[in-house]
A and B are shown apart, each in its own frame.
Chain A
């Protein structure tokens, strides 16, 4: 079955960096658009970024453009999110999600990122 497992979350100071990873299994990763979506505590869902199957095309939400970078390694079935210049408002659970254009059909459980001094 489809499985998406995020890792790399934790506590980081404002201005710091963090790199999230997502291990994918149960489907042909290289054929799937992939996305990162986050949810701040007690808040709604916020789409952040998606990447094409080849990794050549990426889109970002304005809130993270220039600070976050999405990438993928199709040989390792992994999705990455490099987060720089982190702010308190980036505190959230970050979900790795299959999909990127029409819809998001499988979600990981997420990894918690806390930005605090």
Chain B
């Protein structure tokens, strides 16, 4: 199972909005509504930010939103803040019963 494709890096100024894409295939992203996103700060464990394509766990800021179209999922961070600087990974359930993660995107707040 190949990793889902994400841009290596995305940057934005405080207050701006950025979008991270996550491209898979019809066997994973396109085939199921089990796409999730996690945030990882350096040296820390990942934190779930979005699940089931667009749902936010309790406690996650509504500045984080997500969607899916075909084989591509997207995460948008609105009103970018310094604390949003981190690595972001998408993941998806697959038709073989496994999971696959994205290649990861480093978000930089300018």
Chain A residues at the B interface, C-beta cutoff of 8 Å: 35, 44-47, 50, 59-62, 95, 101-110
Contacts and interface: CB of A to CB of B under 8 A. Distances in A.
Greatest chain A CB density within 10 A among B46, B97, B99 is at B99
B99 A47 contact: yes
A50 B91 CA distance: 14
A105 B104 CA distance: 18
Contacts of B101: 44-47
A99 to B, nearest CB: 8
14 contacts: A35-B99, A44-B3, A44-B89, A44-B102, A45-B46, A46-B101, A47-B100, A60-B98, A101-B34, A102-B34, A103-B91, A104-B91, A105-B51, A107-B46
B50 to A, nearest CB: 8
Given A44-B103, A47-B101, A103 B3 contact: no
B48 A61 contact: no
B45 A110 contact: yes
Contacts of A108: 45
